Each structure stands twice: as structure tokens, then as C-alpha cells.
Chain A
Amino acid sequence: MRNVSKVFSNGTLALKDMSLDVERGEFLSLLGPSGCGKSTALRIIAGLGAPSSGQIRWPSSKINSKGLPEGDVGFVFQEPTLMPWQTVFGNVYLPLRLQGVGKSAARPRVMETLAAVGLADFAEAYPRELSGGMKMRVSIARALVTKPKLLLMDEPFAALDEITRQKLNDDVLRLWKQSGVTVIFVTHSVFESAYLSNRIVVMKARPGQVFADMPLKTSGERNAEYRTSEEYRAITHDVSHALHEAIHAGGGTH
């Protein structure tokens, strides 16, 4: 996915003339204070609610009726958003089922995706039998099962405890490296964005706009060591600084 440019302009000024190019294979974090429209931006990219003006351009030629490239987008919501009456398998199978793939034909792909998020043994469990972190893994598996080119994540780990969150962050990084998917990750955590992304877009509120665009290159592997390194500290310092400026630029209240 290259050269995607999006121009939004929203009547309620949730977003005003926001432009953003996303390169193929990027891990891009949208960081900003609450109410800066980062979730709105993500939903518009996903085709959930059209922009009031402006447009989203995709490099793919296959575009469906909703203006989205066919089967190329996965979405992870803030909550796991699983169907409680379906097993883990049934939930992950859903995107394929909606595409008309038969159950037996889909089984290898579903199981492979479940194995990738470490839940192969829980295929027949129901969501209520799982912990919060496991439900989120199911949600991620569901988003990945169509092998999307673009994965959109809307503060997926905001409700999880710190330990589960770090583990899932590592998992997301691993899945991103393995699959080469482009990720747009909405978060309000400086540390999460600095740990995960190779590009951080800081947004400001009132109106929602891109405030700073910071590419991020790290020397080593991102792991527990990186989490306590001087390099990581310097990056979080810079990102925090940018976020503070964004908050002040947005009127100082939030």
C-alpha cells in the first residue's frame, strides 16, 4: 500500500483538513489528547461514516461499493467486540463466512491465525470463558484472518492491565513483522506508541489536525531491553514534548 493520501474535512470540526500519507508496511501510531479526532480519523479510513468533504485514495484498483479496497482492511475495536453466542473459532471465522468461504475451507486459515495469537487450544471456547487479554487476541485474530493489507487498531489495549498490555504489544510487533501488514494504531499512550511504531503522528484537538509527524528509527530489536534503554527514554521524551505542544495548540483544555 503506497501513496495513500486522505483529505478529510468534517462539519463538526472533529477533523479539519487532515492530510496523511501512509506508506506500505508502516507501523503508524496516531497519538493525541482525548477528543482530537484520532478515532474519528480511523473510522473514516475504515469506511465507517463518510467524511463530510475530502476523500480517501487507495492504491488498490479493486474498490467495493463502500469505497474500501476489497477485503484489505482489518479493524480492532477498543473493546473485543466478540459475538458471545459464537465460539472463538466462530468469531474468527466470521470475516471469511461473510465472504462466502465454507467452514471446512476456512478451517486451516482460522486455526493458523489462532495459532499465531497463541489461542489454538481455545478454538471451541466461548468468549465469556476467556480473560480480557485473550478476548483481545481473538479480536486481533479476527482482524488478521482475511490477511488484510491494512490493520486499523483503535486503542485496542486501553482497558487492559499493564502486564497483559506489554505482552500484547510484543505480540502485535511480532505479527506485524511476520505479515508485513500496514498498521495504523490509535493510542493515547506515549510509551505504547514509542514502543510499537516506526512513525508517530501527533494530533491536536479543536480542530483535529496533524500536529507533528515523527519518523522513528531504532538501532536494536524492540524488546524488554529496549523498554528500559536510553534510546527509548529519549524518544518518549521527544514524543511527550510534541504531545504537550499539541495539547497547548489545541486550546490547552482537554
Chain B
Amino acid sequence: MSEIVQAGPGSSEEAGTDSAVAILRPRTSNTEKILRIVVPVAMLVLAVIAWHFIVVLNGIPKYILPTPADVANSLLNDWPTLLPALLVTLKITFSALILALIGGVALAIILVQSKWIELALFPFAVILQVTPIIAIAPLLLIYSPDTQTALLICSFLVAFFPILSNMVAGLKSVDHNLLNLYDLYGASRWQTLIYLKIPAAMPYFMAGLRIGGGLALIAAVVAEFAAGTAGEGSGLAFRLLEAQYRLNIPRLFAALILLTGTGIAIFGLTSFIAWLTLHRWHESALKREN
């Protein structure tokens, strides 16, 4: 199933092996398109139904494992408690991710400018990277003016390193011949950076963004576990712990579902940005055609 989207000149003079006449674009059939959506959704629905019957048939009490209906109820009834918590977690995750993006990319660009800067900053980068950042959460809690800032710093540090190291790898892995070409035409450092190094680093940056996005959420949750904030301005992680202490397991599941949803949204968003940037040229975003 393919359609001709572009035709070359096709004159007899041009008909060498190197003059393509048509570029074919494969078209997935409609049945396949529908199945691609139906199959995963059906599996998910089946799992929820199985969950329901396991609980009902075994007579498992609500405070051990609630039914999906209980969780849905809790999600609705506790919405006034859960929504502010969700917003707090979202705010921390996304501010941390944005700060990590700006910081990671900026530092990567500075690092690759000179090998001396890289050497000088190398020990700090290694120390911060190998230390489990969550372990410094208690320290951050002491130094920060408030818990929210500590959570933000924690989440930022965790998301920062994959973005930094991927970006550095990307900026360094530019085709040497292209660098030679830019030299030949007398390109300035700035031009080489903007037109060559940054576009060439995009696939690496996108990999870093996806990893960093996931980690920012994980760090926001784990740091809140460590911090144990209470009352106003607490995030989903605190609501989760609170529900556990009160044996309000349906609410715990509801909070969990919101966290999963946030994770999926971040993954979807970063994947979409990656696709948007790379789909015209990079192998990672292209469909294999043979």
C-alpha cells in the first residue's frame, strides 16, 4: 500500500541509477490503525475487570485491596483534597524539569567550549552524579527556606544530570567532516554552535529530556517522602502516605492513579516533542521500511 508523493523529472537523459523517479510513502491499512488502539485498550479493560472479580470473589476487604469502583469513588469524593496535591506535585515536577533543561543545556554548551573548563568542573559533575541525590534531601531540608524549595532543588538535581550528560555527548559527537566544512567557510564559534552543534545534538537532547522528565516526577515524589510535609502545600506523595496511615486504601490508589497519569502525560509530551523535532530526519523517529 503506497502512494506516489513526489515524482522526479523522469526524462530519459536523467534516468541514471542516481536519479530517483518517485519517493514512496507506505500507508498503514485502516484495520491495522484501529487494532493498534483497540488491542492495548482492551487489555487494560480486561485487567481492570479481572481486578474487580478477584476482589469480589475472594471477599478481600476494602482496607487491603479496594475494587476499581471503590478507587473511582474515592477519586471523585476526595477530589477537593487530591486536586491541590496534584497541582503541587505538577508544579514541582515541571519547574524542576524546566530549570534542569535550561541549566543542563547551558552548562553542556559551556563545558564543550574548552577542555579546561570541562576538566575543572569534571570532579563536581562526577560527585553530584554518583551521589544518590535523595540522600542529600535531609540536608536540603535544613538549608532551604521552606520544604517546597527543598523538593524543587532535589527534583532539579535528579533531572539535571541525564540532560547534561546527554547534551555533552551530543555536542561532542558532531561529524568531524562537517566541523571541517564549517572551518573551511570561516564559520564563527557562534555559527558553528547554532547551525551545527545544537541541531546535531538534538537526538541526544531528546533522549535526555525523556529520562529527565520521568526522573523529575520520581524525585518530586521520593523527596516528599523524605521531607514529610504536612498541611497546606503538600503534594501527592504526602497524601499517599497519609492515606496509608489512615488505612484509606482507596484514596491511596486514587493518588497512585493520579501519579501514573502525570507520568504518562510527561512521557507523552516529551515523546511528542522528540517526534516533532526529529521525525523528518533522525532514525530514532522514523519507521523502518523494509
Contacts and interface: CB of A to CB of B under 8 A. Distances in A.
Contact of B16 (A71, A77, A163): A163
Given A97-B195, A128-B281, A81 B181 contact: yes
Contacts of A65: 186
Interface string B5-35: 0101100001011111001000000000000
Contacts of B144: none
Interface stretch (B115-123, B150-158, B172-180, B266-274): B172-180
Given A48-B180, A65-B186, A84 B20 contact: no
Interface in A82-98: 83-86, 94-95, 97-98
A128 to B, nearest CB: 6
B180 A131 contact: no
Contacts of B286: 128
B281 A84 contact: yes
A132 interface: yes
Interface in A17-54: 43, 46-48
Given A97-B195, A121-B9, A126 B281 contact: yes
B196 interface: yes
A98 B191 contact: yes
B182 interface: yes
Interface in B181-233: 181-187, 191, 195-196, 199-200, 202
B17 A161 contact: yes
Nearest to B192: A98
A99 interface: yes
Nearest to A79: B177
Given A47-B184, A83-B199, A121-B9, A134 B191 contact: no
Contacts of B62: none
A129 interface: yes
Contacts of A129: 23
A161 B14 CA distance: 17
Interface string B250-290: 00000000000000000000000000000011100010000
A128 B282 CA distance: 9
Nearest to A49: B180
Contacts of B9: 118, 121
B180 to A, nearest CB: 5
A77 B180 CA distance: 10
A237 B220 CA distance: 76
Interface residues of B, number: 31
A49 to B, nearest CB: 9
Nearest to A162: B17
A118 B14 CA distance: 8
Interface string B79-104: 00000000000000000000000000
A122 interface: yes
A73 B177 contact: no
A79 B178 CA distance: 10
Nearest to A146: B185
Contact of B17 (A46, A128, A163): A163
Contacts of B281: 84-85, 126-128
B178 A164 contact: no
Given A70-B186, A77-B181, 20 more contacts: A47-B184, A48-B183, A73-B184, A81-B175, A81-B177, A83-B196, A83-B199, A84-B282, A85-B202, A85-B282, A98-B186, A98-B191, A118-B14, A121-B9, A128-B286, A130-B20, A133-B17, A133-B18, A136-B18, A167-B18
16 contacts: A48-B183, A66-B186, A68-B186, A75-B181, A81-B177, A81-B178, A83-B178, A95-B185, A98-B185, A98-B191, A125-B6, A126-B281, A131-B17, A146-B185, A163-B17, A167-B16
Interface of B: 6, 8-9, 14, 16-20, 23, 175, 177-178, 180-187, 191, 195-196, 199-200, 202, 280-282, 286
Interface of A: 43, 46-48, 64-66, 68, 70-71, 73, 75, 77, 79, 81, 83-86, 94-95, 97-99, 118, 121-122, 125-134, 136-137, 146, 160-161, 163-164, 167-168
